[in-house]
């Protein structure tokens, strides 16, 4: 097997005052990623969520901070068209996850590039206030990064971005017909199955997200194998 996968991370903070995001927030964000990807977070399943009780997986993927770069830039919103990546290009994206932290605008929390795309735009972009301790409650516990890194590692939304028969290509995530928001009560049933609303790849509140599944772990890890889209890491 591949064993533990270590992903070194470069963080680019691009804000009118780039010191508004502190080093301790950046480190807290790294800790959230490591906890979420290794099922060592403190989240709990909703009481009675018996059918998912053994489904939170350990991906054995770790993240380590390789460098933080601050750019004071007066631009007030960057959109989702990769403009920030042209202005501040990724550093060695074949071997490093690049994370841009900025004001995206339009109420967008984050966006990501799937594996296999152009290396000049590879990485994820986060709204600055989604980092732990930020002001984007209920999305300020750092789980936007977890969700976006999920996309970066080939995961789809658990509803497959379509109706019930649209797949996310993961066997053990029940099908659903759309995103869930807030902190849904259990069970939330769509497509005749109980939604895994606490999965990181749904749209629920940070405090109500809890897990990746074994199937998601296998789909993510597959891209690091020989011939996979992130084998160079």
Binding stretches for Ca ion (CB under 5 A): 168, 170, 173
Which one of the listed residues 36, 55, 122, 148 is annotated catalytic?
148
Q: Judged by CB under 6 A, does residue 25 bind ligand ARG? A: no
Which residues on neighbouring strands pair with residue 62, listed in sequence order? 6
User: Going residue by residue from 104 to 143, which x/- string records binding to ligand ARG, judged by CB under 6 A?
Assistant: -----xxx---------------------------x---x
Closest CA to 66 of 149, 6, 3: 6
C-alpha distances (whole Å) from 15 to each of 19, 31, 77, 102 are: 8, 23, 9, 6
For ligand ARG (CB under 6 A), the number of binding residues is 13
Cβ closest to Ca ion, residue 148 vs residue 168: 168
Cβ closest to ligand ARG, residue 55 vs residue 148: 148
Residue 148 binds which entry of ligand ARG, Ca ion, none, with Cβ cut-offs from 5 to 8 Å by kind? ligand ARG
Judged by DSSP in three states, 199 sits in strand
Residue 148 is among the residues annotated as catalytic for this protein: yes
Judged by DSSP in three states, 41 sits in coil
Phi (first) and psi of residue 51, to 5 degrees: -75, -5
CA angle 143, 174, 188 (to 5 degrees): 75
Residue 170 binds which entry of Ca ion, ligand ARG, none, with Cβ cut-offs from 5 to 8 Å by kind? Ca ion
R_g of the chain, CA atoms, integer Å = 17
Query: Of 69, 88, 114, 203, which one interacts with ligand ARG (CB under 6 A)?
Result: 203
Which residue has 């480190």 as its token pair?
Answer: 27
Shortest distance, position 7 Cβ to Ca ion, whole Å: 25
Residue 144 binds which entry of Ca ion, ligand ARG, none, with Cβ cut-offs from 5 to 8 Å by kind? ligand ARG
Beta strands, E only, the chain: 5-15, 61-72, 97-102, 110-112, 124-127, 189-190, 193-194
Shortest distance, position 143 Cβ to ligand ARG, whole Å: 4
Residues that bind ligand ARG (CB under 6 A): 109-111, 139, 143-144, 147-148, 203-206, 209
């Amino acid at each position: 097997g591949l064993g533990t996968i270590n992903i070194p991370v470069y963080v680019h903070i691009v804000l009118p005052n780039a010191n508004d995001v502190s080093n301790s927030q950046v480190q807290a964000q790294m800790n959230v990623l490591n906890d979420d990807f290794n099922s060592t977070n403190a989240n709990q399943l909703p009481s009675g969520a018996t059918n998912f009780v053994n489904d939170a997986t350990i991906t054995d993927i770790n993240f380590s901070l390789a460098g933080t770069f601050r750019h004071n830039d007066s631009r007030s919103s960057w959109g989702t068209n990769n403009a920030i990546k042209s202005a501040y290009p990724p550093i060695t994206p074949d071997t490093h996850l690049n994370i841009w932290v900025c004001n995206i605008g339009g109420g967008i929390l984050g966006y990501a590039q799937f594996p296999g795309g152009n290396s000049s735009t590879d990485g994820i972009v986060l709204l600055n206030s989604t980092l732990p301790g930020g002001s984007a409650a209920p999305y300020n516990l750092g789980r936007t990064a977890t969700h976006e890194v999920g996309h970066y590692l080939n995961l789809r939304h658990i509803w497959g971005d379509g109706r019930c028969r649209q797949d996310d290509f993961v066997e053990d995530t029940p099908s659903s017909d759309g995103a869930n928001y807030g902190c849904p009560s259990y069970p939330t049933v769509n497509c005749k199955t109980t939604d895994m609303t606490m999965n990181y790849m749904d749209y629920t509140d940070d405090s109500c997200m809890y897990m990746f599944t074994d199937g998601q772990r296998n789909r993510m890890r597959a891209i690091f194998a020989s011939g996979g889209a992130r084998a160079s890491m």
